[in-house]
Amino acid sequence: MGSATLAIGGYHDYVQAVRVNNTIESPTSAPHIPDPLKNTAMKYSIHKRRAAYSPITLFLAASLLLVCLVLIPLRATAEQGSGFEAISVNKASAEVEPDATGQAILQAVQTLMTAIDQPQSSSTTSEAMGVLAGIADSDGPAEIDLPSLDGAKGVALRERVDSPLARILEYAYNPEVPAYLVLPSVVRLSQWYPGSDILSLETPLFKQLPAPAQPLILRGREYEEITPDVSSGGYYSYDLDRMLALFQHEGRNVLVSVARQDGESGVGKKGVVLDDNKWNYFYSGQDGLTQGAIGWMDTYMYASWSVSVFVEKPDGTTTNMVFKWLRAGWAGMNVVQGSHILEGCKRFARAFRSVIESDLLPAAAELSAKTRELLALSENELDLRIKRYARQIESLWKDHPVLSRRTFAKILAGGGYAKALNREQRVSALLLEYLKAQLLGPTIRQG
């Protein structure tokens, strides 16, 4: 697709084309299998590998995993956590006995998960959204352990965001602004799939405030790849079914975002958190985990469900409450505890607030224009920029205790990191450096 098409076509149509036509090995290698066939092939490969493990191997591996769970200390703190700290945790949480609030939350979330697949909103859907909006807007506890959902532990976290809802919608729910620019420590890649309702909105959400009395409901699908886990180094990609609802609750503007993971994630890959506070990460593209003793394990996010509720306050701030459940692990075992999910929610909230609340954040239109500019680069120009980026990554981080390991050092050597990134990943890396230069000061030279 040429530059002229880029200037006319949509950002998401273009990114979808990039995903289909590039592979992790090289931006000039053979095209991917189209998505439905690719997913089938990936799942066949996963199950084929699992079938090859003998019962003894499975027993020994499970034993090793349990030893790791007991003996390896949790390195992440409340200031750093991705929600999948499970491989290196030394504590477990008991099953939550549902109280009235927990049961009300669970029932409301189950109703909304069902509504994702319903073409029309129902009174029960509106009631469920009202229940969660009321809880988010209450003076109840900021952290809640939730009843299990389909075998997954769950938590809720309430945070105040020093921003009106319109600003949040303009950046975080604007298809022209990639989600990783709003959540730089959580999301590496993201996009709405063609056919999603938000892509055909004539009036963007942030211009539809005050919100309508009857919910404006949008449905769609997203692709997402997350940043490396702080503890294990694993990073994952998956599809999400999503529903957005904009409405008024007791005179206040409310947005509810409902997300459900569609099937098992891709196998976890080895990454490194270089500096979470400054959004510096390394992606190897290699299957496994970075943590040594368990690096060979094939890990997956099996299922996740989340509802994020934004309630605008009279003082111009917004309350955000996230309700989240996650199942993830290895060989079908779920090793995620509620404490891990809570730390991940805090990591999410910290990243989100650091961007949205910043006075240095460029206008959404400027971020959109920068995105289009980088997407329109020719292969030669993008290659030049990413090679410069890769050499600077090597110069800054080659002595890092993890990146200096032989496997990672070989990827970095001579600016070789550029070869590990396809076009979409290259654009994402350069956009992130642009954002960091605006909010944190220059780190990697652009242009």
Residue with tokens 């996010």: 301
pLDDT recorded at residue 296: 76
SS3 for the chain is CCHHHHHHCCHHHHHHHHHHHCCCCCCCCCCCCCHHHHHHHHHHHHHHHHHHCCHHHHHHHHHHHHHHHHHCCCCCCCCCCCCCCHHHCCCCCCCCCCCHHHHHHHHHHHHHHHHCCCCCCCHHHHHHHHHHHHHHCCCCCCEEEEEEECCEEEEEEEEEECCCHHHHHHHHCCCCCCHHHCCCCCEEEEEECCCCHHHHCCCCHHHCCCCCCCCEEEEEEEEEEECCCCCCCEECEEEEEEEEEEEEECCEEEEEEEEEECCCCCCCEEEEEEEHHHCEEEEEEEECCCCHHHCCCCEEEEEEEEEEEEEECCCCCEEEEEEEEEEEEECCEECCCHHHHHHHHHHHHHHHHHHHCCCCCCCHHHHHHHHHHHHCCCHHHHHHHHHHHHHHHHHHHCCCCCCCCHHHHHHHHHHHHHHHCCHHHHHHHHHHHHHHHHHCCCCCCCC
Domain with CATH 3.30.530.20 in the chain: 53-357
Cα Rg of the chain, angstroms: 21
Structure tokens, 258: 């409902």
Distance, in Å, from the CA atom of 369 to the CA atom of 367, rounded to the nearest integer, reads 5
Of residues 172, 140, 174, 170, the one with CA closest to residue 157: 140
Strands 237-249 and 252-261 come out as antiparallel
pLDDT at 27: 35
Amino acid at 117: D
Residues of 249-272 as b/e, b for ≥16 C-beta within 10 angstroms?
beebbbbbbbbbbbebbbbbbbbb
Structure-block tokens of residue 440 = 């944190």
pLDDT value, residue 86: 41
**Residue 338 exposed, middle or buried by CB count within 10 Å (0-12, 13-18, 19+):** buried
Closest to 68 measured CA to CA, from 55, 51, 85 = 85
Extract the residue ranges of the chain whose pLDDT is less than 70. Answer: 1-98, 120-121, 292-295, 442-447
Note whether 65 and 335 are within 8 A (CB): yes
Return the pLDDT at 19.
46
Rounded to a whole number of angstroms, the distance between the first and last alpha carbons of the chain is 22
- What is the residue whose two structure tokens read 């600077």? 392
CA 441, CA 275: separation in Å to the nearest integer? 15
Phi, psi for residue 266 in degrees, rounded to 5: -65, 160
**Cα→Cα distances 8→48, 376, 440, Å:** 43, 10, 32
Strand partners, 223: 191, 239
Return the pLDDT at 119.
73
* CATH superfamily ID and name for 53-357: START domain (3.30.530.20)
Using the structure block, give the residue that is written with the tokens 């505890």.
Answer: 337
Q: What is the pLDDT of residue 122?
A: 77
Cβ neighbour number for residue 191 with a 10 Å cutoff? 23
**What are the CA-CA distances from residue 370 to residues 275, 375, 376 (Å)?**
24, 9, 10
Full-model pTM? 0.80
pLDDT of residue 441: 77
